Amino acid sequence: MNNKYLDLAGLQRLVENIDRKYAPIAALLFKGSVEDIEHLPALANLKAGWMYNVQVGGGTTSDFVEGPGHIVADGENVAVVELITGYVAVDPSAVTPDKDPKKLGWYELVGTEYVPSEDRIADTAKTYYTATTVKKWDMLGGVFDLEGRYLEFGKEFPENPADERVFLYMGEDTFNYNPVVSPSGRPIDNGWYEQSISYDEITPVGDEDPASLGWYEEDGAGGYQLTADTSVQVGKKYYEQVIDYVLTADITVDPLKTYYTKDAEYKTGVIYQYDAATTSWVAKSGSAGADMVPITAAEIDELFI
C-alpha cells in the first residue's frame, strides 16, 4: 500500500474545499480539554476555530458536522466551525468604497460557486454576499486515513500526542539556527547568521522570582547581567534577553564570532508523525519517495461531498 502525502496542489485544493464548506476561520486556538463529548461547552457561546481535546472518546451527536453515530477517539481534538447553509446578497447601499470585502468575509458568485472575495476595496458594481451559518463541532481527526491512523490538520501541533500520531501542519514555517562547526570561506556568501542580542524591560507583577525566571539587570557599565534577586526589588529595573538572528555581513571569518545556519524545523503543508522515543515530530511528506504518492484532487473532493 502506498503512503499518501499532501503536496502543494493538494493543500490548495483542501483549503478551497474548506472555504466552500465553512465560514473562514482566522486560526485554530486550543482552549482546553474536556472529560468527554457530553462535557463539551455549549456551541452558542463559542467562536469558530476554538479547539478542545476530548480525553475519553465516544459517539458524535447532531451537533457535529459529521452527524450522529461517528466515533471520536480518546484524546482526539474537535473544533468549532460555522457550517455554511446559504448566501444572502449584501444590500447595495452598504457596498461603498470604504468597505473591505475580504476583511468582512464577503463572498462573490463566480459561475455557480460562491468564493471568498479577495477585494480590499468594495466594487460598487459588484454584488457581494454574506454566508448564513450554523455552528457545529468538527472532528479534526479523520481527514485522511493512513493505514488505520487518522491525519489531523491545524496551525498548532497537538499537545501530549500519542506515539505515531500523524498531523498535517498548516502553520507558518519555523526554523532552527545551528552553530557552524569550523567555519571557513566567506560568511556572507554562505548565508550564515549572527546573533543579535537585545534586552526588553519587564514590568513585574511583584511576586516573581527574577533569578529563577532568568531576568537581567543593568551591570553599571552599560551592559546587562543575570540578576541574583530571588524577589522583586522595588525601584529596580529588570530585563528579558531577546535573541534574534541576522544575516552576517562578514567577508572573512571572525574567530571571536559564532556563525549559524538557518535550518527548517517545521514547514507548512508537510505531514508529520510523532515519535515518542525522541519526543519529536518527524516529517513524512517532505520529499516523495517511490512508496509515496500525492493525494489526488478527486480524493480530497470526496471528503466534502
pLDDT at residue 145 in the model:
41
Average model confidence (pLDDT) across the chain: 83
293: enclosing H helix or E strand: strand 292-294
Q: How many CA atoms lie within 13 A of 75 on its CB side?
A: 8
- Considering the domain architecture, whether residues 275 and 144 belong to the same structural domain is answered as yes
| Burial (CB count within 10 angstroms: exposed 0-12, middle 13-18, buried 19+), residue 81 | buried
- Considering the domain architecture, whether residues 151 and 18 belong to the same structural domain is answered as yes
pLDDT at residue 253 in the model:
96
By three-state DSSP, how is residue 136 classified? strand
Q: Which of 131, 134, 132 is nearest to 106 (CA)?
A: 131
pTM above 0.75, yes or no: no
pLDDT single digits (tens) 67-78: 888 888 777 778
Indicate whether 22 belongs to any domain: yes
- Considering the domain architecture, whether residues 139 and 241 belong to the same structural domain is answered as no
pLDDT at residue 140 in the model:
64
Indicate whether 292 belongs to any domain: yes
- Measured distance CA(153)–CA(272) in Å, rounded: 10
- Considering the domain architecture, whether residues 67 and 213 belong to the same structural domain is answered as no
pLDDT at residue 54 in the model:
86
- Considering the domain architecture, whether residues 152 and 221 belong to the same structural domain is answered as no
Range of the domain at 29: 3-90+128-173+267-302
User: Is the predicted pLDDT of residue 289 greater than 70, yes or no?
Assistant: no
pLDDT at residue 161 in the model:
84
Question: What is the arithmetic mean of pLDDT over 183-188?
Answer: 96
User: Is the predicted pLDDT of residue 188 greater than 90, yes or no?
Assistant: yes
Indicate whether 192 belongs to any domain: no
pLDDT, greater one: 289 or 279:
279
Indicate whether 218 belongs to any domain: yes
pLDDT at residue 233 in the model:
95
In eight-state DSSP terms, residue 193 is: E
Total count of domains within the chain: 2
Buried b (16+ CB within 10 A) or exposed e, 116-129: bbebeebeeeeebb
Q: Which of 174, 161, 168 is nearest to 284 (CA)?
A: 168
Q: Do residues 38 and 72 lie in contact, with contact meaning Cβ atoms separated by under 8 Å?
A: no
- Considering the domain architecture, whether residues 78 and 34 belong to the same structural domain is answered as yes
Rounded to the nearest 10°, the torsion over CA 33, 39, 44, 49 is 20
User: Is the predicted pLDDT of residue 153 greater than 80, yes or no?
Assistant: no
- Considering the domain architecture, whether residues 63 and 147 belong to the same structural domain is answered as yes
Indicate whether 60 belongs to any domain: yes
pLDDT single digits (tens) 224-263: 999 999 999 999 999 999 999 999 999 999 999 999 999 9
User: Which amino acid type is present at position 236?
Assistant: K
In eight-state DSSP terms, residue 162 is: P
- Considering the domain architecture, whether residues 278 and 143 belong to the same structural domain is answered as yes
Paired with 264 in beta bridges are: 175
Band (pLDDT 50/70/90 cuts) for residue 51 is: confident
- Considering the domain architecture, whether residues 146 and 39 belong to the same structural domain is answered as yes
Q: How many CA atoms lie within 13 A of 103 on its CB side?
A: 6
Question: What is the arithmetic mean of pLDDT over 122-151?
Answer: 73
- Considering the domain architecture, whether residues 141 and 13 belong to the same structural domain is answered as yes
Lowest mean pLDDT among 129-143, 144-158, 271-285: 144-158
pLDDT at residue 142 in the model:
39
- Considering the domain architecture, whether residues 207 and 291 belong to the same structural domain is answered as no
- Measured distance CA(123)–CA(100) in Å, rounded: 10
Indicate whether 97 belongs to any domain: no
- Considering the domain architecture, whether residues 166 and 221 belong to the same structural domain is answered as no
Q: Do residues 261 and 193 lie in contact, with contact meaning Cβ atoms separated by under 8 Å?
A: yes
